[in-house]
């Protein structure tokens, strides 16, 4: 229900994070979340910047996202405001949000909304190309250029020389195609 509130297609949003859902491990998430709660709250991203939650978001990703969001008029339209200070309380709230499924959906919706704003030509692309671009930007960088966003990805818990690598975007596109 969150994605349509932001004008984002749910199928697109789910496809974007599907590769993260494939790799998700509750045990690893528990350990990483525990470390982030302890270290990030005290020292910010210098203390801990592990991906946590089902959507595997890092505190640095969320901090960048919150800064971008606060530069838009959408903060007023949606009534979503963030404390951008480097305080213990701001870090504590950030970790609580990262550990919450609804907030991960809100952050994902905000990311996609900002991405379409940054690259308005994206809306003119075919659906598959939108999934490909958005998923790769989610995995690689919001700040990359339109032309250079492409990375390889693995699904092994610990990569070895025999680990098969996949384009992150192709895993997202695979899900999008079967979900239709």
38 DSSP assignment: I
Residues 101 and 144: their CA atoms lie apart, in Å, by 27
Q: Which residues of the chain have pLDDT under 70?
A: 141-159, 164-168
| pLDDT at residue number 12 | 96
Q: Give the pLDDT score at 49.
A: 87
Structure tokens of 2? Answer: 């969150």
Q: What is the Cα 77 distance to its own chain's centre?
A: 22
Whole-angstrom Cα Rg for the chain: 16
- Predicted structure pTM score: 0.83
Residue 57: the pLDDT is 93
Q: Using an 8 Å Cβ cutoff, are 130 and 164 in contact? A: no
């Amino acid at each position: 229900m969150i994605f349509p509130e932001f004008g984002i297609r749910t199928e697109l949003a789910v496809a974007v994070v599907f590769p993260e859902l494939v790799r998700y491990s509750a045990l690893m998430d528990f350990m990483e979340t525990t470390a982030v709660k302890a270290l990030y709250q005290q020292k910010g991203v210098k203390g801990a910047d592990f991906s946590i939650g089902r959507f595997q978001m890092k505190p640095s990703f969320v901090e960048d996202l919150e800064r971008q969001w606060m530069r838009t008029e959408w903060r007023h339209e949606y009534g979503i405001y963030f404390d951008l200070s480097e305080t213990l309380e701001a870090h504590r709230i950030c970790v609580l949000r990262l550990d919450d499924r609804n907030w991960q959906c809100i952050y994902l919706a905000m990311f996609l909304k900002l991405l379409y704003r940054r690259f308005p030509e994206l809306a003119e692309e075919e659906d598959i190309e939108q999934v490909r671009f958005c998923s790769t930007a989610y995995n690689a960088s919001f700040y990359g250029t339109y032309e250079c966003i492409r990375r390889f990805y693995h699904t092994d818990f610990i990569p070895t020389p025999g680990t098969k690598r996949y384009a992150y975007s192709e895993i997202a596109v695979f899900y999008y195609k079967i979900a239709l």
